[in-house]
Amino acid sequence: MRTQYEASTPEKKIKAEHKRVAHFQRWFATFASLAHSRLPLSAYLQKVTDTLREVAGVDSSVVEWIEGDELFYRAASGAAAAHIGVRLPTAGSLSGLCITRQQALICRNSATDHRVDRAACEAVGAISMVVAPVIYEGRSVAVLKLISGELDHFGHADISILDAFCACIAETIAREEIAQENRKLLKENASVAADLTVESSLRIEFEKKLADAMRRRQTVLDNAHVAFVSMDEAGMIVDWNEAAGGLFGWKQHEVAGSELASFIVPERFRDAHRTGLTRYLATGEARMINKRVELPALRRDGSEFAAELTISEVWYEGQRQFACFVHDITDRRVATEANERLRLLINSVSDYAICMLDQNGYVRSWNDGARAIYGFTAQEAIGRHFALFYTADEHGRDRPADDLALATKRGRVEHEDWHVRRDGSEFWAHVMLSALPGNGDGAQGFVKITRDMTARRRLEELEASSRRMNEFLALLGHELRNPLAPIRNAVSILKLKSSDDADVIRSRQIVDRQLAHLTKLVDDLLEAGRVSSGKIRLTNAIVDIADVVHLSVEASQPLCDERGQRIVVRDSGQPVHVNGDSTRLVQALNNLLNNASKFSPHNSTITLEVGPRGGSVMVRVKDEGRGISPEALGIVFDLFVQEHPPGAHPDEGGLGIGLTLVRAIAELHGGHVEAKSGGADQGSAFSLWLPLAEPPMCGAASDTTPGAAATRQLDVLVVDDNRDSADSMTLLVDMLGHHARAAYDGPGALDSFEANRPQIVLLDLSMPGMTGFDVIRRMRDEGRRVIVAAMTGLGSDEDIARTRAAGFDAHLVKPVDLPELERVLALAGRA
């Protein structure tokens, strides 16, 4: 709609000004026409789009309505009219950006504008467009859009015009909501008026019947089973039926003409009774129909009871009298007190929403727990149907009515499902709906007890999510180890092949280092799963900390040498022992040393301090590295947490698992680990604290030195459904001086085993059809002794125990290191 107003002469300027004025007059005439329109909202929106397209001279005009995370075409004209009802996501579109910013936006070329949904633009032929939000009560409810098939068709003047139309649409929305509210109020007022008319008719009918009853009162009252007495204005007894005699113990002839108070009111209340009667007459209260009072009453034998008097003014034979029906309400008062105690008890329960329902499901009582859980006050909830608490989906299935029917039939319905609070939020509810028996058939009412179980459900979901994550990590580790196995075999083959080519040697070393790093990451993933699921197991023994330090330093030395770093060990010279798992302790200390090396500069010093501290031993690793910020000290031991985002420091890889594993190992040993740092570039200190243990009794140390490599040629069968893994392992065994052959499935392995009778079998566990466990069972059934080693990506203590129980002689974790392979071959060489 951009208009170029150019003029080189006064006449042309005047014409251009007239044209511009006519243009805007046309706009505002259209706006004024729409502003005074009284059409319903849907028709109004269509009228807006039709008018805008016609007046603006554009290809299409659209009103996009917002529903959750989607927009749908509620009204459209022109080329976009065929797309009414189409839904589009708000994300990734110019309309979505307009909603977020709550401001109008212009797209000059949809082919180059990254903010637009190009597919949607192509569908409606939008080359350029302008969008503006319709804001109602502070939130965006719709988007008004003009579309042109020309480039750069819209300008800032169009935004002002669209904003005016958006305000008009918002006013129409408000007007329609007010109209709906007015219609609702009119309907409610009509209903109230009808109820009042019915009540008035009933009142008139009742008064007529009461007058008839008074005319026949003597006959009726003489045979009534309810105590009836009447007195005159002076308080003297006029009538006294037999039921009154039975209740109070006095005959009619004994009390007639006497003061009523002296027979039925205890003496201590009589003066107050007489004063009240005087006030009763003087204030006009006597004209109140069926006034009820409760008071202590006196029997002839002197006993007292709680009584209720229903007093009515009647005229009989031109004299004013007061008719009283008297009820013994002792049982009712006891029941009321019991109900009050029960009500107070129910109201004091805050963890459960307890409400009473009538036979149709309308709320009749509401405790404090219900208010806390649902958010409704008693005034808001009582009188409303309990379907108010069900979700929209359950309304569609008529779940509230089904629950009432089942509770009536079975006596109780109990289930867990989503319920709705006053603010519209949902919570996971445990609901018991019990039917209360009535006097006749069917239920007299229901009691509904609800408990908010959202926290428990979220905990269960969290546990399930954690379990799935652990299963995924285990599967991921296993699947990653399968392709790593042939790569490790290939690297081992390259190591065995001598080569003087410097590039070949350097490439082999690069692959070896990166493969070791990748294998370490896979191991860390599996350790993360064991930490989060609590599956780390210890093999406890008395361990000399000096041995742990020596093995840890030895393991970390290559990394430090590569970076030109020194490890300085400072110990007290005293032998200190702990009760624990040597392998896990070496793993923990090795992680601390590697961590110190990774975060320290080249040619720096890492200090390892060891010594007793009271009843504990302290192992502290100090570095001169980057340090830790104060806000990060509290989270460095959390799983998958790193102080800096990935890629911030290219030389610092990892998954954020090592320190979590250190903490888990320390706590399993009854100790703890702590981190300290002076801040950025101040270095760090990690201290591992473990309880001291008594040193072991002196004795011969067991020889754990692995046996020498096999000295004779062996016949080796390699079984793996991964052909690269099987072939590379076969080649590696051949290069070690043995004869190897490969099988790629269980049946093939059994055929080769039967035909050639190898001395050793390297057997993969996870094969389709026949697993490694099935294969070894068949091999052992043959009765011939053969060394069988499991080859698998699973290496936990449970996995090793499982293969040992199945009869395997060794457990090799993929990728298999060359020394581990030689150790297994040595077993067969010594057999």
The pLDDT tens digits of the residues spanning 178-205 come to 777 777 878 877 777 777 777 777 777 8
| In the predicted structure, residue 528 carries a pLDDT above the cut 50 | yes
| In the predicted structure, residue 76 carries a pLDDT above the cut 50 | yes
616-622 and 787-792 beta bridge pairing: unpaired
| In the predicted structure, residue 762 carries a pLDDT above the cut 90 | yes
Name the residue type at position 282.
Answer: A
- Mean pLDDT for the stretch of residues 511-529: 66
Name the residue type at position 283.
Answer: T
Domains 333-452 and 456-500+711-831 share a fold: no
- Mean pLDDT for the stretch of residues 123-147: 88
SS3 567: strand
Helices and strands, counts by H and E, the chain: 25, 27
Burial class (CB in 10 A: 0-12, 13-18, 19+), 168: buried
Token pair of 190 as six digits: 């009509």
Smallest CA-to-CA distance from 434 within 416, 448, 422 is with 448
* DSSP conformation class of 584: H
| In the predicted structure, residue 647 carries a pLDDT above the cut 50 | no
- pLDDT, one tens digit per residue, over 44-54 is 888 888 888 87
Output 55 or 108, whichever has higher pLDDT.
108
* CATH fold label, 10-180: Beta-Lactamase (3.30.450)
Output 512 or 65, whichever has higher pLDDT.
65
Token pair of 381 as six digits: 């909830």
Please name the helix (run of DSSP H) or strand (run of DSSP E) that holds residue 626, with its range, or none. Answer: none
Residue 16: per-residue pLDDT: 54
Query: What CATH number was assigned to the domain covering residues 217-328?
Result: 3.30.450.20
C-alpha distance from residue 643 to each of 256, 387, 635, 652 (Å): 99, 50, 8, 11
**Which of 290-304, 326-340, 380-394 reaches the highest mean pLDDT?**
380-394
- Show contacts of 535-541: CB within 8 Å, 24+ apart: 535/796, 535/798, 536/584, 536/664, 536/665, 536/668, 537/797, 537/798, 538/580, 538/581, 538/584, 538/668, 538/669, 539/581, 539/583, 540/579, 540/580, 540/581, 541/579, 541/580, 541/581, 541/582
- Cα 544 versus chain centre, distance: 48
> Which pLDDT band holds residue 769 (cuts at 50, 70, 90)?
confident
Token pair of 801 as six digits: 């125990």
- Mean pLDDT for the stretch of residues 162-170: 81
| In the predicted structure, residue 4 carries a pLDDT above the cut 50 | no
> Which pLDDT band holds residue 767 (cuts at 50, 70, 90)?
confident
- Check if the beta carbon of residue 94 is closer than 8 Å to that of residue 129: yes
C-alpha distance from residue 121 to each of 50, 100, 603 (Å): 20, 20, 60
Output 784 or 369, whichever has higher pLDDT.
369
Listed range (153-162, 274-283, 285-294, 345-354) with the worst mean pLDDT: 285-294
Chain mean pLDDT for the chain: 79
| In the predicted structure, residue 283 carries a pLDDT above the cut 60 | yes
Output 379 or 290, whichever has higher pLDDT.
379
Does the model's pTM come out above 0.95? Answer: no
Residue 719: per-residue pLDDT: 92
Listed range (109-113, 283-287, 585-589, 762-766) with the worst mean pLDDT: 283-287
- Cα 791 versus chain centre, distance: 41
- Mean pLDDT for the stretch of residues 196-219: 71
Dihedral of the alpha carbons of 275, 277, 279, 285, in degrees to the nearest 10: 160
Residue 215: per-residue pLDDT: 64
> Which pLDDT band holds residue 341 (cuts at 50, 70, 90)?
low
Residue 236: per-residue pLDDT: 87
Q: Compute the chain's Rg from CA coordinates.
A: 46
Residue 654: per-residue pLDDT: 53
Residue 3: per-residue pLDDT: 47
Q: Which CATH superfamily is domain 333-452 in?
A: PAS domain (3.30.450.20)
Residue corresponding to tokens 């105590």: 227
- pLDDT, one tens digit per residue, over 367-409 is 888 888 898 998 988 999 998 889 888 887 888 889 888 888 8
What is the rounded CA–CA span in Å between residue 111 and residue 125?
11
C-alpha distance from residue 731 to each of 523, 598, 682, 763 (Å): 26, 36, 51, 16
Residue 725: per-residue pLDDT: 83
Listed range (89-93, 488-492, 509-513) with the worst mean pLDDT: 509-513
Residue 694: per-residue pLDDT: 77
> Which pLDDT band holds residue 652 (cuts at 50, 70, 90)?
low
Output 574 or 150, whichever has higher pLDDT.
150
* CATH fold label, 536-691: Heat Shock Protein 90 (3.30.565)
> What residues contact 733, with CB distance under 8 A and at least 6 apart?
716, 718, 740, 762, 821, 825
> Which pLDDT band holds residue 707 (cuts at 50, 70, 90)?
very low
Query: Per 3-state DSSP, what percentage of the chain is helix, strand, and coil (rounded to 5)?
Result: 45, 25, 30
Which of the listed CATH numbers 3.40.50.2300, 3.40.50.150, 1.20.1070.10, 3.90.1330.10 matches domain 456-500+711-831?
Answer: 3.40.50.2300
Residue 675: per-residue pLDDT: 87
Backbone angles phi, psi at 201, to 5 degrees: -65, -40
Domain ranges in the chain?
A: 10-180, 217-328, 333-452, 456-500+711-831, 536-691
Residue 708: per-residue pLDDT: 43
| In the predicted structure, residue 70 carries a pLDDT above the cut 50 | yes
Residue corresponding to tokens 């039975």: 246
- pLDDT, one tens digit per residue, over 662-680 is 888 888 888 888 888 878 7
Residue 179: per-residue pLDDT: 74
Residue 362: per-residue pLDDT: 92
| In the predicted structure, residue 325 carries a pLDDT above the cut 70 | yes
Output 803 or 193, whichever has higher pLDDT.
803
pLDDT-above-70 percentage for the chain: 79
| In the predicted structure, residue 469 carries a pLDDT above the cut 80 | no
